[in-house]
């Protein structure tokens, strides 16, 4: 029988911080509340984290890990052709960001609490990794020059970032999310149409 390791104090604090920040927003949550919810002291929080912002960043990291897992597993479960993988994955990415904790921490509070550079740095490794993985399959299939995959991955990520910022400042984030999703997927489909045409043009 497998045993489950007990949560560390850090794990407990991050889990409760994630829940409270998602429910109430960064500004409305105090370090004392997080400590009490985790059954720990305020001193335990500052033993693990520099300040409230550092705790928020750790909660965001936890959300991003779940986003990555969800997008990877759900996209692979579709068993899609390389041409459709990035479209399906893009849709799954938006699905993941529509979860209550992801929306609140990553889209609404993240840019202002962390600052633009840290907010980008938080998401870049995960998002670009997923995008590059899908585009790499296009390269392996001979549909795309593998040398430009890194640059294209950053460009697609840039479009995603701009869409996320639009959602973050929108008066109606839910409506903005739908618009951004539709626009981004249209952009990706246009890119794929170009890839397909170039592949056809290269054929003898």
Model confidence, pTM: 0.84
Residue 197 domain flag: yes
Residue 83: its pLDDT value, please?
A: 75
The mean of the pLDDT values for the chain is 88
C-alpha 85, offset from chain centre: 17
Q: Are 34 and 117 in contact (CB under 8 A)?
A: no
Neighbours of 19 (CB within 10 A): 16
Question: What's the pLDDT at 4?
Answer: 61
Q: Quick check: 24 pLDDT over 60? A: yes
Residue 50 lies in a domain: no
Lowest mean pLDDT among 1-5, 83-87, 102-106: 1-5
Best-predicted range by mean pLDDT (57-61, 86-90, 164-168, 183-187): 57-61
- Summarize the confidence of residues 160-184 as an average pLDDT: 85
Task: Look at residue 29 and tell me whether its pLDDT is greater than 90.
Answer: yes
3-state secondary structure of 98: coil
Q: Is 97 a domain residue?
A: yes
Does 46 map to a domain?
Answer: no
Q: Which residues of 178-192 are buried (b: 16+ CB within 10 A; e: fewer)?
A: eebbeebbebbeebb
User: Residue 202's pLDDT is what?
Assistant: 66
Distance CA 137, CA 143 (A): 9
Dist CA 13 CA 40 (whole Å)? 8
Dig out the tokens for 203 from the structure: 């054929």
Residues 55, 41 contacting (CB under 8 angstroms):
no
Q: Could you tell me if residue 23 is inside a domain?
A: no
Domain assignment present for residue 174? The answer is yes
Q: Residue 127: exposed, middle, or buried by beta-carbon count in 10 A (0-12, 13-18, 19+)?
A: buried
Structural domains counted in the chain? 1
Q: Is residue 27 part of a domain?
A: no
Tell me the C-alpha distance between 57 and 122, whole Å: 8
Instruction: Give pLDDT, residue 1.
Output: 44
Residue 33 lies in a domain: no
For range 138-146, the mean pLDDT: 84
* Residue-level pLDDT at 62: 97
For residue 112, the enclosing domain spans 56-202
Q: Which two tokens stand for residue 154?
A: 């950053």
pLDDT for 165 beyond 90: no
Annotate 42-80 with b (16+ C-beta within 10 A) or e (fewer).
Answer: eebbeebbeebeebbbbbbebbbeebbebbbebbeeeeb
Residue 45, pLDDT above cutoff 80: yes
Q: Contact at 8 Å (CB) between 17 and 58?
A: yes
């Amino acid at each position: 029988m497998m045993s489950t390791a007990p949560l560390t104090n850090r794990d407990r604090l991050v889990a409760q911080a994630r829940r409270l920040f998602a429910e109430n927003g960064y500004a409305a949550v105090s370090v004392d509340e997080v400590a009490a919810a985790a059954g720990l002291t305020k001193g335990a929080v500052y033993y693990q984290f520099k300040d409230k912002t550092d705790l928020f960043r750790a909660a965001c990291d936890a959300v991003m890990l779940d986003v990555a897992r969800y997008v990877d597993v759900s996209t692979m479960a579709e068993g899609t052709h390389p041409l459709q993988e990035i479209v399906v994955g893009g849709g799954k990415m938006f699905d993941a960001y529509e979860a209550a904790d992801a929306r609140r921490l990553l889209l609404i509070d993240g840019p202002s609490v962390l600052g633009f550079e840290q907010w980008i740095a938080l998401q870049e490794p995960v998002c670009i990794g997923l995008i590059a993985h899908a585009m790499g399959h296009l390269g392996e299939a001979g549909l795309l020059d593998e040398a430009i995959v890194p640059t294209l991955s950053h460009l697609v990520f840039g479009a995603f970032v701009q869409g996320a910022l639009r959602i973050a400042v929108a008066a109606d984030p839910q409506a903005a999310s739908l618009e951004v999703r539709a626009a981004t997927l249209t952009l990706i489909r246009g890119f794929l149409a170009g890839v397909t045409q170039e592949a056809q043009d290269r054929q003898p």
